[in-house]
Amino acid sequence: MSPLNGRGGDTVSGNRSLNRMLKTILLNEREIPYTLKKSSWAKSMRLAIYGGGNFIVTAPASLPQNRIERFIAEKSKWVVDTIEYFKKFPATIFKKRKTKKESRAEFLLHKEKVLSQVKARLDYFNQFYGYRWSNVQIRNQKTRWGSCSRRGNLSFNYKITFLPEHLADYVIVHELCHIGEFNHSKNFWALLAQALPNWKELRRELKSKKHTHI
């Protein structure tokens, strides 16, 4: 099989607007399974990888299979590396529709470990700033990695523990810097650069995750 050639499986579900198919593609001499979603609503291709290494490809309904495979092949290193990374986590970690019971159980399982992780990194990076904060909390949030209140209360999403360490550090330092600058002005980004000179690159990488934001 050619490195760009994928094999089609059975159709899982399909209708006029969305068609899902199980596929495989050979990347870096490894056969990678993925779910292809062809949608009449999609205007461009999107690759997403979730807990357990679940690989989802979304493409416009009219896009030919060879174009889809070529796009995946161009991102082969990112795909293979990211799948390996997310295989460490349960498939439910980034599940969009969890029951309240599932979500709370997962949160409680990781809360204390994440709190220790965040406090240790705050202490480390605060050598650049010398700030004081009021409280540090770990929350089960759907749409934010972290936040800082005007009173200096720092809050972080427990899912920060599932980020690569350099991205978790970005989130932590980002919120720490809001103690000094409660905005996103030039002064704020200059503060961030004191500890993380490559903050622009980290910010772009974090935004590409698309699960939550700050």
pLDDT value at position 10? 28
> Residues 104, 203: one domain?
yes
Mean model confidence pLDDT for the chain? 84
> Residues 198, 131: one domain?
yes
- Confidence category of residue 90, pLDDT binned at 50, 70, 90: low
User: What's the half-sphere exposure (Cβ side, CA atoms, 13 Å) at 127?
Assistant: 7
> Residues 67, 106: one domain?
no
pLDDT digits (tens, 9 = 90+) for 157-196: 998 988 889 999 999 999 999 999 999 999 999 999 999 9
Lowest mean pLDDT among 8-17, 52-61, 170-179: 8-17
Count of the separate structural domains present in the chain: 2
> Residues 21, 112: one domain?
no
Q: Is the pLDDT of residue 29 over 70?
A: yes
Domain boundary, last residue among 39, 55, 86: 86
95 within a domain of the structure (yes/no): no
pLDDT value at position 13? 38
> Residues 168, 205: one domain?
yes
CATH number at residue 193: 3.30.2010.10
> Residues 21, 106: one domain?
no
Domain boundary, last residue among 32, 54, 86: 86
> Residues 106, 151: one domain?
yes
Q: Residue 198: in which H helix or E strand, if any?
A: none
Domain boundary, last residue among 62, 86, 110: 86
19 within a domain of the structure (yes/no): yes
Q: Is the pLDDT of residue 140 over 60?
A: yes
DSSP, residue by residue, 101-157: HHHHHHHHHHHHHHHHHHHHHHHHHGGGT----SEEEEE--SSBSEEE-TT-EEEEE
- Confidence category of residue 41, pLDDT binned at 50, 70, 90: confident
69: three-class secondary structure by DSSP: helix
> Residues 80, 114: one domain?
no
pLDDT digits (tens, 9 = 90+) for 91-121: 665 555 667 777 788 788 889 999 999 999 9
> What residue numbers bound the domain in which 16 lies?
6-86
214 within a domain of the structure (yes/no): no
> Residues 60, 112: one domain?
no
pLDDT value at position 82? 86
Average pLDDT over residues 47-72: 91
120 within a domain of the structure (yes/no): yes
pLDDT value at position 211? 45
67: three-class secondary structure by DSSP: helix
- Confidence category of residue 212, pLDDT binned at 50, 70, 90: very low
92 within a domain of the structure (yes/no): no
Share of the chain above pLDDT 90, in %: 58
User: Structure pTM?
Assistant: 0.59
- CB atoms under 10 Å from CB of 100, counted, come to 7
> Residues 119, 182: one domain?
yes
> Residues 162, 134: one domain?
yes
22 within a domain of the structure (yes/no): yes
Task: Choose between 49 and 132: higher pLDDT.
Answer: 132
Tokens, residue 167:
């991205």
